[in-house]
Chains A and B, each alone.
Chain A
Amino acid sequence: MSQATESDVREDGVIDSVSGPVVTATDLDARMNDVVYVGHEGLMGEVIEIEGDITTIQVYEETSDVSPDEPVEGTGSPLSVDLGPGMLDAIYDGVQRPLDVLEEKMGSPYLDRGVDAPGIDLEKTWEFTPTVEAGDEVGPTDIVGTVPETPSIEHKVMVPPDFEGGEVVATESGNFTPDETVVELANGEAITMHQEWPVRQQRPAEEKQTPTTPLISGQRVLDGLFPIAKGGTAAIPGPFGSGKTVTQHQLAKWADADIVIYVGCGERGNEMTEVIEDFPELEDPTTGNALMDRTCLIANTSNMPVAARESCVYTGITIAEYFRDMGYDVALMADSTSRWAEAMREISSRLEEMPGEEGYPAYLAARLSEFYERAGYFENINGLHSSISVIGAVSPPGGDFSEPVTQNTLRIVKTFWALDADLAERRHFPSINWNESYSLYRDQLDPWFVENVREDWPEKRQWGIDTLDEEAELQEIVQLVGKDALPEDQQLTLEVARYLREAWLQQNAFHPTDTYCEPEKTYRILDAIRTFNDEAFDALDAGIPVEELSDLDAVPRLNRIGVQEDYNEYIDELEADIESEIQELY
């Protein structure tokens, strides 16, 4: 969180009442959404309501032992994040305080109160190389230089969006701290590597365009059936234990975005620790560098103060927009947006606002759509094209998708990955239900798949979908009369569909090879199953009984393709074996 510096002098107030995270103060001269420091310990808070002389503040830290009559100090600036080199590889709490710095400052493994720390290290020097020279004209968000931030990412230093811009009068390369001027403009504006931006305000862009490139996730069920676009939005709702977090982690690990922002919003402490421990050791499949080099983590665990949970998604999306301005494709995972909505509900109920559906505030839908609208494929003001994809997990109570957070989210997002407790129970992972899920990006992304993977990608995929649909219908009959009562061709369809489920849709996130599946491999597995399908149906037409066709030795090897590193060779051999075995039956 940035220390408010630019304050115009404001009057300080006095605490009137304290009730959990909500504090009211009198005589405080503050604007709506200004950051204030509450009490003798200076707990950080934000103004959320002003009524007469009473200012209501939500406090981002625990308020135990805070009492009336303690002072409240205004800062005169809204909740902002520090933007600059040093954000990648970092792990923040909900108001962008680096957790490693907090540990050091507090000298304890527990999070204490009243300790502030800037979001980026203001002492550290970075090697700046200008990309402009004296005499050049620059405007807002134009790139003026670069900093090698991590081995994978070059940080672009930009003119802040609220600057006027103009002619460059001086710049030089060298090592600077984030607050030192690196470029001077003729109108006196001094550009540093450090910017601040209020989290609740979208960073401006030129225009939003239709996304046409998929965000490849390396997960067969997603890339193959329900792809999301770079710049798209997706929701993953599911009851507890259905694998939301593992799916989010998989996306954070393998999605082919340049930058990944992972917002752990009200989730488990041990899970965040897992991310912190795992990511630095994982390799980015495209660059070979550590995954952590392109990742920024925001961790607000479920036992951290609720107000900071409310702000953490905004912190995340603001950082995402900053990287978007540099021309990078950013993917933001929010796990879970339900906790964020619940934080809104909790604050709203402390304010005694009139509740909407299920106690959620009436503005729930507006806040959700505001947030998801910050995603998209943009043309930036500086002319670069880049995207923010947002993937939000939703945790519906009791797994009931009709509740307000799921419903309001579904009205906005275009990809829906429905997690299914039944699938999870039988350890079919990722437990994404192929009948309920959808992606509205399929058509606009097909040209990409046709061009970059295989020409018949859409056609093969449709075959897979049809087979799975048919299976779902047949299963209902099987439930009544048993499988053996079906005609032979339908029995064979069930057999093929089983391989689609087990060999193609299922994917082991914990297997070193199977955890990431490139689109080519996704295609080839599907195609191998199709080969079996075609050969087997031909044989069936020729009068070979279905029992013999479902008892072939080679076919179960389909299930092992996922774990093969040299899959092309394996599949070639397997397809040949299936063909010859079926030929022998004639």
Chain B
Amino acid sequence: MKKEYETITEISGPLVFAEVDEPVGYDEIVEIDTGDGDVRRGQVLESTSDYVAIQVFEGTQGIDRNSSVRFLDETMKMKLTEDLLGRVLSGSGDPIDGGPEIEPDERRNIVGKAINPYSREYPEEFIQTGVSGIDGMNTLVRGQKLPIFSASGLPHNDLALQIARQANVPEEEEGEDDEGSEFAVIFGAMGITQEEANEFMDDFERTGALERSVVFTNLADDPAVERTITPRLALTTAEYLAFDKGYHVLVILTDMTNYCEALREIGAAREEVPGRRGYPGYMYTDLAQLYERAGRIKGRDGSVTQIPILTMPGDDDTHPIPDLTGYITEGQIMMNRDLNSQGIEPPINVLPSLSRLMDDGIGEGLTRGDHADVKDQMFAAYAEGEDLRDLVNIVGREALSELDNKYLDFADRFESEFVEQGYNTDRSINETIELGWDLLSMLPPAELNRIDEEFIEEHYRGDEQEAEVTAD
């Protein structure tokens, strides 16, 4: 243990500068004693032979020149044990559920190391979320990082909860005794309101999910700087449960926008040269260090699947936060305000949504052989219908051809029947694809140019087609 210093020279925002006369490690943990028994924790951001810059997690209020600074000779660690399941922790990893202190089996550095790409296993195990807009069109697989791009006032929390409740891998339902594949949820809240946190906690308690969850909460009125460590604590726990204990872990991080705001605050306090919109130039690297901690590892049972939620300021997906996120994650699920105001639940706009790992996670033996074709055709048909809507506004429906009208009807029914399902309906992948065929059969078979002829023969609803013709 190093000696204590009372050498604070400067306090500025979340940063404290102190003179030192012995070397201090970069990233080392610091305790600052304000003199009245209040101890704040912080981390070394810059270390030189004369002074160190410390970022204080719990706020700098009340710290003065006479406060003492103690260096703990180690970097930030997370206390890890399987008993964390069922616990509620603060944004700094301390229990706040009134339960006992954590008895760790192991303490691990929260700045995770990069997984060697050579040691990764490519994710291709389909997760059924029971949500058609995801399963059918933008399939999630184990080990993927698939964020929800939302905006203020949209029901992203309901969707996240629905996924957490319903997510399962279809074949495994029979083999419950398979011990290596238990499911766990890690919930990392950053700067969300008490009310939102209650919504999550109530749902976890109601469904009994809490006992297989670990909850980290940094609320809106908790110190902003603490938000920069909350996701790292959550992900360190996730990696431990997944790769050491064999759980399939689903990590929900909300709201990443608040995390990035905290990064910007620290950057500004350090007087760094800002990048776009004042966010630090290293935000891409920083976000990547979080998101890239999803995945599977060869020879290990578990997996880490991430669903980060972020609210796009001004619904703008070119804002640096969604933009950089989209470049790192393997796709995105886009929430849409128009669909929401139409009462579509969940209001997923499938067109700009994307799952990059989908193509290897679906198909014969995984979902269904016709899944990819049906998906492609529905994307194309819905996009066509969307385009035509603009035209209808100008020339009216009557001016359009019969075929165009069919596309318009398709787009309407796609939204009101396929995407719309409510937050409590759990659709199997089979139901989702069959529903897709119901809708596609509105179009003449010759229009289904993305689907293999064999599948059209097998699944195309011939009767409905005839009914359509006679109706005209």
A contact residues vs B (CB 8 Å cutoff): 15-20, 24, 62-70, 91, 99-100, 102-103, 106, 109-112, 239-241, 245, 264, 266, 268-274, 276-277, 299, 301-304, 306, 339, 342, 345-346, 349, 352, 355, 358-359, 395, 397-400, 421, 424-428, 478-485, 502, 510, 553, 556, 559-560
Q: Which residues of B contact A306 (CB under 8 A)?
A: 282, 285
User: Does A109 contact B26, Cβ atoms closer than 8 Å?
Assistant: no
Contact residues in B for A428 (Cβ distance below 8 Å): 380
Q: Hey, which chain A residues are within 8 Å of B115, CB to CB?
A: 109-111, 269
Query: Does the CB pair B47–A17 fall under 8 Å?
Result: yes
* Chain A min CB distance to B271 (Å): 9
Q: With A359-B281, A397-B276, A556-B446 as known contacts, state yes or no: A274 contacts B122, CB within 8 Å.
A: yes
Asked if A349 meets B24 with Cβ closer than 8 Å, knowing A399-B318, A480-B394, the reply is: no
The complex places the Cα of A427 from the Cα of B118 at a distance, in Å, of 31
Asked if B25 and A269 make an inter-chain contact with CB atoms under 8 angstroms apart, the answer reads no
Interface residue? B265 (CB, 8 A)? no
Cβ–Cβ < 8 Å partners of A276 in chain B: 117-118
B1-57: which have CB < 8 Å to A?
22-28, 45-49
A-B contact pairs, 15 of them (CB 8 A): A17-B47, A64-B75, A91-B118, A111-B116, A269-B292, A270-B143, A270-B144, A273-B120, A276-B118, A302-B291, A355-B273, A359-B275, A395-B327, A427-B380, A484-B401
Query: Which one of A109, A239, A342, A395 has the greatest number of beta carbons of chain B within 10 Å?
Result: A109
Which residues of B are in contact with A by a Cβ distance under 8 Å? 22-28, 45-49, 74-75, 109, 111-123, 143-144, 243, 272-276, 281-282, 284-285, 288-289, 291-293, 295, 297-298, 300, 317-320, 323-324, 326-328, 330-332, 351-352, 354, 356-357, 359-360, 372, 376, 379-380, 383-384, 390-391, 394-395, 399-401, 404, 446, 449-450
The complex places the Cα of A110 from the Cα of B111 at a distance, in Å, of 12
Q: Which residue of A lies closest to B452 (CB)?
A: A563
Give the Cβ gap from A356 to chain B, nearest Cβ, in Å. 11
Instruction: State in angstroms the CA–CA spacing of A103 and B275 once bound together.
Output: 35
Within the complex, the shortest CB–CB distance from B345 to chain A, in Å, comes to 22
Report the minimum CB–CB distance from B133 to chain A (whole Å): 15
Q: A270-B144, A302-B285, A303-B292 are in contact. Are A397 and B323 (CB under 8 A)?
A: yes
* Among A62, A66, A99, A397, contact of B117 (Cβ-Cβ < 8 Å): A99
Q: CA–CA, A24 to B26, complex, Å?
A: 13
Task: State A301–B293 Cα separation when bound (angstroms).
Answer: 11
Are B111 and A62 in touch, CB under 8 angstroms? yes
- A64 touches which one: B46, B111, B276 (CB < 8 A)? B111
Asked whether B288 lies within 8 Å of A19 as measured between CB atoms, the reply is no
Please determine whether B327 and A240 come into contact, CB atoms closer than 8 angstroms.
yes
Q: Which one of B46, B143, B275 lies within 8 Å of A345 (CB-CB)?
A: B275
Report if A303-B288 is in contact (Cβ < 8 Å); known contacts: A103-B116, A240-B326.
yes
**How many angstroms from the CA of A240 to the CA of B28 in the assembled complex?**
36
Cβ-neighbour of A110 out of B49, B114, B144, B276 (below 8 A): B114
Interface hub of A106, A306, A395, A425 (most chain B Cβ within 10 A)? A425
Given contacts A270-B144, A346-B282, 19 further A-B contacts (CB under 8 A): A19-B46, A64-B25, A91-B117, A99-B117, A240-B327, A268-B330, A269-B120, A270-B120, A270-B143, A270-B330, A276-B118, A302-B288, A304-B114, A346-B281, A346-B285, A426-B351, A426-B384, A482-B394, A484-B400
Q: Check A479 against B391 for contact (C-beta < 8 Å).
A: yes
Quote the shortest CB–CB distance from B355 to chain A (angstroms): 10
Most buried by B among A15, A18, A483: A18
Contact between A359 and B285, CB atoms less than 8 A apart: no
For A478, the chain B residues whose CB sits under 8 A away are 391
Most buried by A among B22, B48, B116: B116
Given that A17-B46, A270-B120 are contacting pairs, would A68 and B359 also be in contact in the complex, using a CB cutoff of 8 Å? Answer: no
When the two chains form their complex, are residues A241 and B116 in contact, meaning their CB atoms are under 8 A apart? no
CB pair B357–A270 under 8 Å, yes or no, is: yes
| Structural contact, A19 and B297, CB atoms closer than 8 A | no
Whether A273 contacts B326 in the complex (CB less than 8 A), given A426-B379, A556-B446, A559-B449, comes out as no
Output the nearest chain A residue to B121 by Cβ-Cβ distance.
A273
How long is the Cα–Cα vector from A169 to B111 in the complex, in angstroms? Answer: 57
Given contacts A17-B47, A399-B318, A484-B401, contact A112 B113 (CB under 8 A): yes
Question: Among B22, B112, B243, B379, which residue has its beta carbon within 8 angstroms of that of A427?
Answer: B379
**B400 A269 Cβ-Cβ under 8 A:** no
Assembled-state Cα–Cα distance A240/B150 (Å)? 17
* With contact pairs A17-B48, A427-B379 given, residues A273 and B114 touching in the complex (Cβ less than 8 Å): no
